[in-house]
């Protein structure tokens, strides 16, 4: 086979490989966007079901997708962002924040995105309580964040935490004493 035929073959192969990877990339992007749209659509559907659930539980819907402006300071410079809990509801003269969640991980406060989002709502929006509405199991969970700033007990105040905090320095002291004693002999 002449050299030109080999070069043409390499060009064709390279074009085919590039076309394959481009097609693969475009397919992956399409599937990711489709999955996001499906999750968003399902989330919207669950939020609407959540509204009905809250009403059945005796809550009055005060605001839906309420935008609150959270003000904070960075190096003494005022910053503001909008945060949007799913519902502000009331019952028995009290005002609550409700965040509706669906999906396997988001329904748990062990999910850091869910926990951080709810913590921000609780901190930034005046309320008498905050709830996580798990629409996978149709459970309304009352959430209470405890903070040392509020004078509430946290794990860092517990005796167990203080004991754990003392273990490492105690081990270092014991090892140091054993080394010192071994040098004296």
Q: What is the tens place of the pLDDT at every residue in 84-108?
A: 999 999 999 999 999 998 876 667 7
Instruction: Give pTM, 2 decimals.
Output: 0.60
Helix (H) or strand (E) run with residue 143 in it: strand 139-143
- Cα–Cα distance list, 85 to 26, 94, 100, 124 (Å): 34, 17, 9, 11
Per-domain residue ranges for the chain? 3-145
Q: What is the pLDDT of residues 29-38, one digit of tens each?
A: 877 877 767 7
CATH number for the domain whose boundaries are 3-145 = 3.40.1350
Residue 83, SS3 per DSSP: strand
Determine how many CB atoms are found less than 10 A away from the CB of residue 140: 17
């Amino acid at each position: 086979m002449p050299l030109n035929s080999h070069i043409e073959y390499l060009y064709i192969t390279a074009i085919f490989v590039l076309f394959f990877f481009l097609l693969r990339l475009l397919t992956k992007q399409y599937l990711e966007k489709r999955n996001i749209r499906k999750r968003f659509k399902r989330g919207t559907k669950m939020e609407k079901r959540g509204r009905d659930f809250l009403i059945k539980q005796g809550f009055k819907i005060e605001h839906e997708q309420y935008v609150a402006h959270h003000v904070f300071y960075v190096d003494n410079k005022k910053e503001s962002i909008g945060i949007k809990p799913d519902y502000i509801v009331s019952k028995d003269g009290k005002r609550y924040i409700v965040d509706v969640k669906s999906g396997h991980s988001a329904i748990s406060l062990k999910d850091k995105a869910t926990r951080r989002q709810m913590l921000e709502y609780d901190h930034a929006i005046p309320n008498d309580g905050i709830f996580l509405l798990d629409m996978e199991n149709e459970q309304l969970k009352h959430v209470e964040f405890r903070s040392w700033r509020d004078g509430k007990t946290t794990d860092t105040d517990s005796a167990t935490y203080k004991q754990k905090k003392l273990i490492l320095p105690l081990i270092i002291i014991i090892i140091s004493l054993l080394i010192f004693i071994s040098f004296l002999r």
